Structure 1
Amino acid sequence: MFINNTITMDSKWAFLLSRLAIGLSFFGHGLVRLPKLQGFSNWMVEQFSKSMLPEILVIPFSYALPVLEFVSGLLILIGLFTRQGLLLAGAVSLALIFGTTMIENWEALPSQLIHVAFLSVLLAYLPHNSYAVDHFIKK
């Protein structure tokens, strides 16, 4: 009984640490970009200027990205609507991976793939999400 309880507690702590790590990454990415949104958008448009993606798609995405990162990161961090936050972060990550391949920025790809791996594992082990606002709302 004690061993099974310890394993369960360790799984919950492991889930929390992983959730906080990925949440902080998304939250931090969004947080630092929001105050300089125009500059970030200009930078992103310049990065994609030689890609096959039209500016008419890049501009709205460049403004939405920091907001989506911030919101998904915040949801994941506090564990509120955790599943939806993880799925949103996953969708953002997939869009970033697509964009990264369009500009052939192969150095950025491993980091983005690691983010997707973290998100996937967290989704698979979502029942271990005990230290979260979601857990307290369900009670």
Structure 2
Amino acid sequence: MTANTTNREKDAALAYFLLRVTIGTNIFIHGLSRILAGPSHFAGALVPAFQHAPLPSGFVRLFALVLPFAESIVGLLVLVGIRTRIALVAGALLILTLTFGATLNQDWESAGLQLIYAAVYAALLAFRHHNTFSVDALLNKDSFKGDRL
């Protein structure tokens, strides 16, 4: 293996790490800040924002109460690289859910921003073989074997 190839692999692993910890931090802090402010405060603000969407307000409130905890858990898993594949799929599904709600609410600006998150999750999943700097790698888990999803 040439030095150029080795550097390219190290750069790819470093780039993957930086993107993974950036989105992990972003999602984790999203959730944590909402938990610290009080999930009911977040839910109280979200329910009126969805008053014209075809969703029952009770469902919107329940989702808003659960969302901060889901964001915190997914964000932390992605941030440190534990069960990375499952965490990335969960994050992508969370963004899909948020996109569904934003489009039902005709909030096209939020829906557009969520496409960026979806693209980052897709890229991280597609290039997961570069997940060198993670707890998964430290534990020597071959994350390509044994994942059923």
Match of 1:122 among 119, 124, 135: 124
Residue 56 (structure 2) aligns with: 54
Please tell me whether residue 108 in structure 1 is matched to residue 98 in structure 2.
no
Identity, % of aligned positions: 35
Gaps of 5+ in 1: none
* Structure 2: distance between partners of 1:31 and 1:110: 23
Counterparts of 1:108 and 1:57, CA distance in 2: 20
TM-score (norm 2): 0.90
- Alignment partners' CA distance in 1, 2:29 and 2:39: 14
TM-score, length of structure 1 as denominator length? 0.96
Write out the 4+ residue segments of structure 1 that deviate beyond 3 Å after TM superposition: none
Q: Give 3-state SS (helix, strand or coil) of 2:109's partner.
A: coil
Among 63, 66, 81, the residue aligned to 1:79: 81
> What does residue range 58-69 of structure 1 map to in structure 2 within 5 Å?
58-69=60-71
Residues 66-75 or 44-53, more deviating: 44-53
Q: CA RMSD in A?
A: 1.0
Aligned equivalents of 1:106, 1:33: Cα separation in 2: 23
> 5 Å matches for 1:2-17?
2-17=3-18
Q: Take 2:17 and 2:113, find their aligned partners in 1: how far apart are those partners?
A: 21
Q: Deviations over 1:35-89 (max 9, x none)?
A: 2211101111111111101123212211111111110000000011111111111
Distance of 2:137 and 2:63 partners within structure 1: 33
Cα distance in structure 2, aligned partners of 1:52 and 1:109: 17
More helix by share: 1
Matched, 1:33 2:34: yes
Quick one: distance in 1 between partners of 2:26 and 2:106?
23
